[in-house]
Amino acid sequence: MRRFHLPLFTVLLLAAPILQAGSLSDFGKSVMQQYGTQQSSGSALPTSEIAEGIKQALAKGTRTAVNQLGRSGGFWGNPSTQIPLPASIAKAESFLDKAGAGAQLDQLHESINRAAEQAVPVAADVFSQAVQKLTLNDVRGILNGPQDAATQYFKRTTSSTLTAKFEPIVARVTAKVGLAQKYNQVMSAAGPMASLLGGKVNLNDYVTQQTLNALFVEVASEEKSIRTNPAARTTEVLKKVFANGG
């Protein structure tokens, strides 16, 4: 049976973002020469060890994403991940502020983001299980796929589970902080304008979906780092895998 060796794909994956147009051919020849030498000398790492290295990289990336968002200020204190107010309220924000509801708007907005921060930590175990279930075909697809191939893998395998785990946490937090009451106060202040802007939304569903969206944006950011940043190789297996590939 023909053995599939991943180091070559690892090299191509890591080098692709920094190659200049027109240099791919020369680079490919160089890699093939080096790779051929490794093969003939028998120094290529076992496929199982390379797969384990990829798993470690993805585990590190998802853990970092969860830690970034699942802390105090992970959403509320970061403009790039902060969950916006529902569109119906955001459209009336200026009117509501002038109507004296500015304080309620601020409380509502912060409460939405605090709920998300408390929901995210449960994603750690879900991602960990998804990483451990990676097959060789999954690894191939991630290495040879588009720049967000790992993120797409996680979306495909974890979205439904994460949604189910986020929802009850969000519901508990929103109930504890009186989010529904804050929301009703803001909508009441909007008066007839509320219905014109689309009416009420289900806040728990809104927070859950926004939390999920932000989490995958962060995972995509970590994936980009894994693919392009040599400093991300923080374990011995990773160093061996990527050093062996290039």
Give the model's confidence band at 130: pLDDT under 50 very low, under 70 low, under 90 confident, else very high. very high
Cα 198 to Cα 57: distance, rounded to the nearest angstrom: 43
Residues 48-53, mean pLDDT to the nearest whole number? 78
For helices 136-144 and 149-176, angle between their N-to-C axes, nearest 10 degrees: 100
Please state which of the ranges 95-104, 130-139, 187-196 shows the lowest mean pLDDT: 187-196
Residue with tokens 């075909």: 137
What tokens were used for 38?
Answer: 């490794």
Cα 193 to Cα 101: distance, rounded to the nearest angstrom: 14
Q: What angle do CA 240, 245, 246 make, to 5 degrees?
A: 105
Is the confidence at residue 156, as pLDDT, over 60? yes
Is the confidence at residue 242, as pLDDT, over 60? no
pLDDT number for residue 145:
80
Residue 54 C-beta-side C-alpha neighbours within 13 Å: 32
181, 213, 210, 211: which is closest to 107 by C-alpha?
Answer: 181
Cα 165 to Cα 168: distance, rounded to the nearest angstrom: 6
From the number of C-beta atoms within 10 Å of its C-beta (0-12, 13-18, 19+), residue 33 rates as exposed
Q: How far is CA 170 from the centre of its chain?
A: 19
Sign of CA pseudo-dihedral 218, 224, 226, 228: negative
Give the model's confidence band at 180: pLDDT under 50 very low, under 70 low, under 90 confident, else very high. confident
What tokens were used for 171?
Answer: 């519901």
Cα 168 to Cα 170: distance, rounded to the nearest angstrom: 5
pLDDT number for residue 35:
33
DSSP-derived secondary structure letter, 235: S
pLDDT number for residue 71:
97
What tokens were used for 219?
Answer: 């995972």
Cα 42 to Cα 45: distance, rounded to the nearest angstrom: 9
Give the model's confidence band at 243: pLDDT under 50 very low, under 70 low, under 90 confident, else very high. low
Q: Which residue has the higher pLDDT, 142 or 125?
A: 125
pLDDT number for residue 10:
40
Q: Which of 178-182, 192-196, 233-237 has the highest mean pLDDT?
A: 178-182
pLDDT number for residue 24:
31
